[in-house]
Amino acid sequence: MNFQFGPFRLDGPARSLRLRDRELSLQPRVFDLLVYLIRNSARVVSKDELLDTLWPGVTVTDNSLQRAVSALRAVLREGGMEDAVRNIPRSGYRFCAEAKSADQGASEPASGDSEAPLAPARAAAMQQRWAEAIADYQRCNAESLDARDLESWALALQCTGKPADAIPLLMRACALNAQSGDKDAAATNAVSLSVLHLERGEAALMKGWLERARDLIGDTGLPATAGLVQWMAARIAAAEGEVEEALRLAESAYETGRAAGSTKIEALALMYRGFFRLSLGDTRGGLADQDHAAAISLSHQTDPVTGGTLYCNILWACRTFGDWSRADQWTRGYREFCTTSGMEFTGSCQLHRAEVLGAQGALPDALAHIEDALARLDGDAPWALGDAYRVLGDIKSAMGDTDAALAAYDKSYGLGWNPEPGRALLLVERGEFDAALASLERSLIGQSWWTLQRKGMLLGHLAVVAVHAGRYERAQALIDELAGNDERWPMPSIRALTNEATALLAGVRGRTDEALRHLHLARQLWTSIDCRLNATRLRLQIATLQRVTGDEVGAAAELSAAEATAAELKSAKLLRECEALRRQLAPAS
């Protein structure tokens, strides 16, 4: 009567169920249901048998059993095992996880000796030992695997960075589930396939599998499955530039997930609702949605793929807004999540980390991460390769390797991505102001989620470049637009760019004190989010302007601070600029 399954331990005599070190509260009949299903896990238990066992001598309807099953799944969901209790259409219920007798060691596999080789694979998957699970499944007779085993094998492949290998397994699982009449499980497989093809940029297959999911559930699917389909439809709408429709679908998925009591659907839909709200200018609402979704995920254990999706989404939003402090916190959280869930770092994870490290100025580390990302993304998310080359260009530019940076930007553009603002800033350094301005103007064309989310950053850089290009009225209009939309663009990075553009305009107009004030504000804002590259760059501008005003002491102090940071960051580019300014500050012999 004592069993161990996954992170749970059931003590029959004490009528206790513990999740690791925490005892959970179960209603008496819900506890009895769990015990009975585990003890009879070798077979499907009919509804009539469960009704007679749990309510002996009492006339109750199927609704009572359904409520008990729902309550049991809600408890198991806390350990990520709500799928352990499977509904077999027109037959009954079965406990599908491996339960070991805590008194006598491992029990025999529920389905008999003929499936004994599956026991190690199932145990490894349950304990998130993904590489072992893959090896064990590969030693099994693949034709004898049921849909649940195929799903576990596919999950293990995804968690070890081999999503393409998971596709044929999920296709077989979908077919088996459909054949057995479990259309909700088959639809869930179809949505997973749609996601994998979306990540690979295979639009026709992505849409085809979503339609298959819709066809499977029709009007009779479970609410949670319907919510999952709505969530995927939102992602596809966004990928096709229909962000308002994506927001509508995400809101519908969120409400459906809440009504169904599915924290997984609730968190996924809420995260993407926030993502689309950010794209459409509702910044505070979008950030609140994403933080709420993350809190749901942290308070309820999610499966590794769902958790990775949530983390990845919030990091994309942080990066597109230049919210480096928040991005750094979530990147660290993502990496810890990968470690605790046994997942290998994905290409997307390395891409996120590379851009954060680059902004912070840890250039050698950033370069190592982006090179690793480029090697991985081709297999797990080839659609993001263009963004990875953009980040590579930014890192190479910061290191002073102009030719390599331009080559990376060209590669990014060739892959259909927007390499701005990095490419435009490099053109400014080369004195090609009009080309830089035109390139940034072009980058604002379009309604993709990526362009919409980065609009504030692009406008801020455009304002700076407009001053360099002598388009002062255009620069002022951009500054006014950004400064007048604090609700939409409250991020320190965008405010820093606005102050920098304002300082440049003030300098052109001969208002040196005003220019210095805004440069100091901009530098402080960059420092507040640990963006040391930009903070150091502005220190050099401040020192140069202080030298013009005769403040040699202040200029020397700023230059010394810039030199120390440039040396720490190992930025050859910044070190050359510091050396040039040091020569200018040197007293004449």
What CA–CA distance (Å, rounded) separates 174 from 211? 13
Which position has the higher pLDDT, 110 or 512?
Answer: 512
Q: pLDDT for 526-563, tens place per residue?
A: 998 888 889 999 999 999 999 889 898 999 999 999 99
- In the beta sheet, which residues pair with residue 101? 3, 105
pLDDT at 404 over 80: yes
Rounded to an integer, the average pLDDT of 466-472 is 96
For residue 229, count other CB atoms closer than 10 A to its CB.
26
Is the model's pLDDT at 583 over the cut of 70?
Answer: yes
User: What's the rounded mean pLDDT across residues 43-57?
Assistant: 83
CA dihedral 163→167→168→171, nearest 10 degrees, is 150
Domain count, the chain: 2
* Residues 17 and 103 both lie in one domain: yes
Report the pLDDT averaged over residues 436-453. 86
Which one of 144-148, 156-160, 475-479 scores highest in mean pLDDT? 475-479
Residues 101 and 151 in one domain: no
> Are 48 and 124 part of one and the same domain?
no
DSSP 107: P
pLDDT score of 7 more than 90: no
Global pTM value: 0.70
Q: Does some domain include residue 156?
A: yes
| pLDDT at 187 (0 to 100) | 94
What integer pLDDT is reported at residue 383 of this predicted model? 84
Question: Is residue 2 helix, strand or coil?
Answer: strand
Q: What is the pLDDT of residue 111?
A: 40
**Strands 92-95, 100-101: parallel, antiparallel or unpaired by DSSP?**
unpaired
Given a cut of 60, whether residue 285 has pLDDT beyond it is: yes
pLDDT at 63: 74
- Averaged pLDDT for residues 35-41: 88
Give yes or no: residues 131 and 193 share one domain.
Answer: yes
Integer angstrom CA distances of residue 120 from 48, 134, 382: 33, 10, 33
Q: What's 148-210 look like in SS3?
A: HHHHHHHHHHHHCCCHHHHHHHHHHHHHHHHHHCCHHHHHHHHHHHHHHHHHCCCHHHHHHHH
Domain identity same for 29 and 68: yes
Q: 325, 318, 323, 389: which is closest to 351 by C-alpha?
A: 389
79 shares a domain with 3: yes
Banded pLDDT at 301 (limits 50, 70, 90): low
Identify whether the C-beta of residue 4 lies closer than 8 Å to the C-beta of residue 17.
no
For residue 106, what pLDDT band results from cuts at 50, 70 and 90? very low
Per-residue model confidence as pLDDT tens digits over 211-249: 999 999 988 778 889 999 999 999 999 988 899 999 999
404 HSE (CA, 13 A, CB side) = 11
Confidence category of residue 348, pLDDT binned at 50, 70, 90: confident
Cα gap 18→168, rounded to integer Å: 37
Residue 72 lies in a domain: yes
Specify whether 25 is located in the same domain as 109. yes
Q: Is a pLDDT exceeding 80 seen at residue 171?
A: yes
**Three-class secondary structure of residue 71 per DSSP:** helix
**Number of residues in the chain:** 589
Q: What CA–CA distance (Å, rounded) separates 519 from 545?
A: 10
Question: How much of the chain, in percent, has pLDDT values that exceed 90?
Answer: 44
Quick one: average pLDDT of 301-321?
81
Task: Give Cβ neighbours of residue 161 (< 8 Å, ≥ 6 apart).
Answer: 344, 345, 346, 347, 376, 379, 380
Q: How many CB atoms lie within 10 A of CB 135?
A: 14
Domain boundary among 181, 200, 219: 200
Average pLDDT score over residue span 95-103: 76
User: Any bridge partners for residue 11, and if so which?
Assistant: 2, 16
- Is there a domain that residue 458 lies in? no
More confident: 333 or 11: 11
Q: Are residues 9 and 109 in the same domain?
A: yes
- Residue 154's domain comprises 117-200
Residue with tokens 């259409």: 89
Distances (CA, A) of 537 to 19, 533, 541, 571: 52, 6, 7, 11
Highest mean pLDDT among 32-36, 309-313, 357-361, 504-508: 504-508
Please state, in angstroms and rounded to a whole number, the distance separating the CA atoms of residues 202 and 504. 46
Percent of the chain with pLDDT over 70: 95
Confidence of residue 57 (pLDDT cuts 50, 70, 90): low
Whether 95 and 137 share a structural domain:
no
Domain membership of residue 255 (yes or no) is no
Closest CA to 177 of 168, 165, 191, 187: 187
Same domain, 155 and 99: no
Phi and psi at residue 353, in whole multiples of 5°? -65, -35
Same domain, 47 and 106: yes
In angstroms, rounded to a whole number, what is the distance separating the alpha carbons of residues 53 and 46?
Answer: 11
| Separation of alpha carbons 589 and 587, rounded Å | 6
Extended strands (E) in 307-383: none
136 and 107 housed in the same domain: no
Q: Report the alpha-carbon distance of residue 192 to residue 228 in Å, rounded.
A: 10
In a domain, 45, yes or no: yes
pLDDT, the chain, mean = 87
Residue 102 in any domain: the answer is yes
How far apart are the C-alpha atoms of 556 and 551, rounded to whole Å?
Answer: 9
Report the alpha-carbon distance of residue 573 to residue 571 in Å, rounded.
5
Q: What CATH number did the domain enclosing 1 receive?
A: 1.10.10.10
Q: Are 484 and 492 in contact (CB under 8 A)?
A: no
Contacts of 395 (CB under 8 A, 6+ apart): 354, 358, 363, 366, 367, 370
Pairing of strands 8-11, 85-88: unpaired
Q: Name the nearest CA neighbour of 355 among 381, 380, 374.
A: 374
Residue 70 within any structural domain of the chain: yes
What pLDDT, in 10s, does the model give residues 208-219? 999 999 999 988
- The domain boundary residue, chosen from 113, 128, 163: 113
In a domain, 298, yes or no: no
Minimum mean pLDDT among 20-24, 284-288, 418-422, 464-468: which range? 20-24
Extract the tokens encoding 192. Answer: 């997973």
- Please tell me the predicted confidence (pLDDT) of residue 560: 94
* Torsion over CA: 480, 484, 485, 489 (sign): positive
